[in-house]
Amino acid sequence: MSRRDWTREERILAMNLYCRLPFGKLHSSNPEIIALAHAIDRTPSSVAMKLCNLASLDTAHQERGVKGLSGASKGDRAIWNEFHDDWDRLAVESESLREQFQLDTDDDSDEEMSDLPLQEYRGEIDATATVKVRRAQRFFRRSVLASYDSKCCITGIGVSQLLIASHILPWAKYPEHRTDPRNGFCLSRLHDAAFDRGLITFDEDFRLVLSAVLNDATSNQTMAASFKAFEGQSIELPSRFRPSEKYVKQHRESIFVDR
């Protein structure tokens, strides 16, 4: 294969894949990297290198003392910034490209798309809008679960069928943050339901806080084991896309039921 410049579409696909893969899986033998390489007529090594170049731009890795390669180009930085400036548009565009390049053979499973009832969408009411919603939610779920290594950040549960990419600021009320991975926690379905209804939240140090409603219910053994046992403990923070402290504060002040 001849060496050639990366196109904008190829960089978008690479950024999408960077978001959906845990950092430890950015290697040329990864099946998803191989699939993308074949789709865009490049070698798996070149795709893996591109992902590591993108990793070098990730402040989360820099803060942890982990560095990617140092060869990020001007084009890489442009795509990185484009995603961070408009997650919603780039999430949908990148998922659309994955479909065009036939990279998604099992992404539309009912289990994966059950995180968000489609009727909650308040945009255009037509088939096109529904497709956009599914693409946006698919990107968000994959990005959040990959960042948390597919484990509930409270309990450590690692069964994907029991996990939700939980929005800190609700999907319907905050459309500008719908696909921002920093607006997400990976939670079990039980803890997602509690978080969504304001029965739990997190403090400034990402420690679990229970509402009075839950504290009153922890005389029940199951409730105590599911919630009281983790009260005051810090969650397992993600390897990247650290949840926005601003979003979490807004959840505490506007959604949490402190009574």
pLDDT of residue 66: 65
pLDDT digits (tens, 9 = 90+) for 84-98: 999 999 999 999 999
CA–CA distance, 124 with 228 (Å, rounded to integer): 42
Confidence band, pLDDT 50/70/90 cuts, at residue 39: very high
pLDDT above 60 (res 71): yes
Q: What is the reported pTM? A: 0.89
Q: Where are the domains of the chain?
A: 1-92, 106-259
Please list, in sequence order, all residues whose beta carbon lies within 8 angstroms of the beta carbon of residue 133, skipping any fewer than 6 positions away: 116, 118, 121, 123
Using DSSP, state whether 210 is helix, strand or coil. Answer: strand
CA 92 and chain centroid, separation: 14
pLDDT digits (tens, 9 = 90+) for 178-189: 999 999 999 999
Mean pLDDT score, 138-149 = 96
What sections of the chain are H helices per DSSP? 8-20, 31-39, 44-55, 59-63, 74-85, 87-100, 127-147, 189-196, 212-217, 221-226, 245-254
CA–CA distance, 232 with 210 (Å, rounded to integer): 9
Confidence band, pLDDT 50/70/90 cuts, at residue 34: very high
Confidence band, pLDDT 50/70/90 cuts, at residue 62: low
Cβ atoms of 227 and 214 within 8 Å: the answer is: yes
pLDDT of residue 118: 47
Mean pLDDT score, 12-29 = 95
pLDDT of residue 158: 97
pLDDT above 60 (res 25): yes
Nearest to 55 by CA among 19, 1, 101, 10: 19
Token output for 124: 């255009």
pLDDT digits (tens, 9 = 90+) for 221-243: 999 999 999 999 999 999 889 99
Confidence band, pLDDT 50/70/90 cuts, at residue 69: low
